[in-house]
């Protein structure tokens, strides 16, 4: 079974702190994604990566950065946390599809971040 793990289930941080959210997958997937989930807005893509050291902005990258130094690990960084970044953060991974079929995304359990 594919396993995607996230370093914390719950985090409480103060405004201005630097925050690291870690995600690890054990299935040798090329693609990794960070989303935030907010009530009424569904999932919104922050950043994704399709290879080591490669990253692409998603729909809402402002205030975030990412790092992918190893294939299995994708980190989301909040350089200076703000209260509007209080949210549920979900990491996902997927294979690069080798055919017309589109590959499934596999999700971690999520990190609920509260910024005070």
Partner 1 sequence: GDSVTQMEGPVTLSEEAFLTINCTYTATGYPSLFWYVQYPGEGLQLLLKATKADDKGSNKGFEATYRKETTSFHLEKGSVQVSDSAVYFCALSDRLKNTGNQFYFGTGTSLTVIP
Residues at the interface with partner 1 (CB under 8 A)? 4, 30-31, 33, 35, 40-43, 45, 48, 50, 54, 56, 90, 92, 94, 96-97, 100-110
Largest CA distance in the chain: 46
Q: How far is the CB of 52 from partner 1 (least distance, A)?
A: 13
- The smaller minimum CB distance to partner 1, of residues 17 and 30, is found at 30
In degrees rounded to 5, what are phi and psi of residue 60?
A: -135, 65
- The smaller minimum CB distance to partner 1, of residues 85 and 110, is found at 110
């Amino acid at each position: 079974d594919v396993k995607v793990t996230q370093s914390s289930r719950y985090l409480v941080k103060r405004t201005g702190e630097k925050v690291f959210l870690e995600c690890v997958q054990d299935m040798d997937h090329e693609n990794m994604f960070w989303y935030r989930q907010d009530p009424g807005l569904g999932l919104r893509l922050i950043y994704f990566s399709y290879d080591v050291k490669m990253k692409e902005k998603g729909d809402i990258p402002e205030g975030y950065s990412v790092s992918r130094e190893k294939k299995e690990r994708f980190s989301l960084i909040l350089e200076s946390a703000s209260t509007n970044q209080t949210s549920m953060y979900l990491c996902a991974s997927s294979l690069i599809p080798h055919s017309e079929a589109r590959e499934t995304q596999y999700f971690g359990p999520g990190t609920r971040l509260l910024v005070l």
